[in-house]
Every structure is written in C-alpha cells, then in structure tokens.
Structure 1
Amino acid sequence: MKKSNIVLIGMPGSGKSTVGIILAKQVTKRFLDTDLLIQNMAGTSLQSIVNNQGHMALREIEERALLSVKCKNHVIATGGSAAYSEPAMLHLKKHGTVVFLQTSLNELKRRIHNYETRGLAKRPDQSFQDLFEERESLYRKYAEITVESSNLTQDQVCDEIIEKLCP
C-alpha cells in the first residue's frame, strides 16, 4: 500500500506547521496540525494542559489524538513531543512518510522566544538544550527522510522534501 501522508516531526520552532501549510499547497494535499487537534479534543490550550495537569498529561492526550488520526493525502504537522509515543509514531508511519525537520539548537533558540509559555511537554526543570538532546535521537529513530532546515527558507525546505520524496 502506498503511503499518501507526509508526517513532519521535529523540535518546536523547526517549522513543521509553517512548512506543512506550504508543502500541502505544493503537493495538493490537505493539512493537519496535530497541536490544534489536541487543543480541540481537550478544549483548552497546550500550555493550560501543562499548567493544570502536567507535561505527562499532555503526552497522553497527544498520544490519543495521534492514534485517532485516520486520514489519507494529508501533510501532518505533529507536536514536538509526538516522537515520545512509539504507538502513535508507528500508527502515523503506516500511512505516511515521516520527515524530520532537523534544526540546530542555535537556530531554534533564535526562533523561539516563548520557551517557558509555549505549551511544551517537558519536565518543569528541563532546559531547552536538555529537551533538544533528549528528542533528537527519537526523531532520528522514526525519520525516513531528514531535511537539515537550519539555513533554508520555508520554500527551500519544501523543495528538499519534495525532491527526497520523489527522487
């Protein structure tokens, strides 16, 4: 069975949502942002979930949301913590090619100014660097295609994804 979805994974600030919208237009697919799906399912913001229930609750809600995704011909932008859930990643991989938007720590720090209030599934005492190091190996584990996006424009990232998908 041919995989019809393109699943974007990577750190917060790597451009998954923005690249996803542009990519969906270019490859004529629908776009799904799983962070918005989580917020709609929970009826509240990601940060509110973290504040009131803790980061592990956000990961559990995210896993349920990802496992509920049953679509074809979509570009799916996942939350940065999607890779913590092996069942969810294997589910997404069944119908989609997983693309890791790899971005350097320095570039992510340059792009993200709201680290503490962004609604991240991280331990309260966890630094951005710790989070980056912890997640990097998970992203590599699931990625079928990796695009180093630190020094590319969003359009260039899309071009590279398309090129790697259709060599």
Structure 2
Amino acid sequence: MKNMVLIGMPGAGKSTIGVVLAKTLGFTFIDSDLVIQKRENRLLQEIIDDIGMERFLDVEKEAVLSIDVSKSIIATGGSVIFRNETMKHLKKLGDIIYLKVSYEEIERRVNNITTRGIAMAKGHTLKDVYDQRVELYEKYANIVIDCDDKNLEEIVKDIKDSIPE
C-alpha cells in the first residue's frame, strides 16, 4: 500500500488523525512541519517571522521535496498547497486526503493564530486564510473526508474505507 498524505487547514486534525491512522495501518507517521523545524533548527513561527511567508513557502517546499518514504502517513502543513511542485511530489508519494472542516469548527479549534506557525499574509484573518485555501485543498485532493461532527475513530474509519485497494 502506498503513502497517504493529509492536507487541510490548521486545526483540521492532520497530525492527530495521522498518528492514529498510522498506528491502525502499521504505517510510519511523518509530520512535514516537524521536518521543517528539524532542518531549520527553530520553530515554524520563528521562521515565518524571520523570513516572511513567501520565503517560508520555499523552505517548506524544500523540506517536503526531501521526503522519500513508503507505507507512511504524511501530515502536511496547511500551506503546502501553495507550491505546485510540492503538491506534484506529494501526489507521486501517495493519495492526497483533504480533511475538510467547516470554518466555524476551525475557528473554534484554532485560538493561537499568532504563535502556531500559520503561513498567512500580514493583515489577513483566519477567515481570509480559510477562504484562500479551501479551493486549493479541493483541487489537489484525491479523497475528501468531511470531518465535521465526527470523532477521531469515525474519521480514521472513513479514511480507511475510502482508500482504493
């Protein structure tokens, strides 16, 4: 079985769901945000604050391009969809699964927007980020999993059931 790549908004549950899914399938778990932090030896927010969003997206691209794995669940940063080259690489690695969560739910979950390491343009709100990203998540996804009003086990089951054999 090939890899599964989780995309979606910050707060969608990519890392949490990814860990449980990896355990359930006997896969390895990789969080691309942690790959970036290890490569850069600092927190995402520090990188964004220091070099700005556009250059951060290039750092993210290079980190993601370095991922070469099999039988893994890859949780990506929410901004991974902004670089076409990055998404092409991820599509080669496996199925792209969009964890779809309503804006209202994201707003409820994300309360640390200034320290979480969210790549967003100066002056943008969480709603601006959501509106900008949703169509890109849908564009790149092979599989869309609606996560509203579902618990972790239900989402993991939905992902497992949606995987082509």
TM-score, length-normalised on structure 1?
A: 0.96
Instruction: Give the equivalent residue in structure 1 for 2:67.
Output: 69
Instruction: Give the equivalent residue in structure 2 for 1:8.
Output: 6
Instruction: Give the equivalent residue in structure 2 for 1:147.
Output: 145
Q: 1:121 aligns with which of 119, 122, 125?
A: 119
Q: 1:94 aligns with which of 83, 88, 92?
A: 92
Residue 53 of structure 1 and its aligned partner are, at CA, apart by 1.1
Equivalenced residue count is 165
Residue 57 of structure 1 and its aligned partner are, at CA, apart by 1.9
For structure 1, list consecutive stretches of 5 or more residues without a partner in the other structure: none
Instruction: Give the equivalent residue in structure 2 for 1:49.
Output: 47
Instruction: Say which SS state the counterpart of residue 13 (structure 1) adopts.
Output: coil
Residue 166 of structure 1 and its aligned partner are, at CA, apart by 4.3
Instruction: Please list every run of at least 4 consecutive aligned residues from structure 1 whose deviation after the TM superposition is greater than 4 angstroms.
Output: none
1:136 partner letter: V
1:109 partner letter: E
Residue 118 of structure 1 and its aligned partner are, at CA, apart by 1.0
Distance 1:31 1:101 in 2: 16
Instruction: Give the equivalent residue in structure 2 for 1:22.
Output: 20
**Percent of matched pairs sharing the same residue:** 37
- List per-residue Cα deviations over 1:15-57 (Å, max 9, x = no partner): 0000000000011100000000000011110000111111112
Provide the alpha-carbon RMSD of the alignment.
Answer: 1.0
TM-score, length-normalised on structure 2?
A: 0.97
For structure 2, list consecutive stretches of 5 or more residues without a partner in the other structure: none
- List per-residue Cα deviations over 1:110-156 (Å, max 9, x = no partner): 11110121111110111111100100011001100000102111111
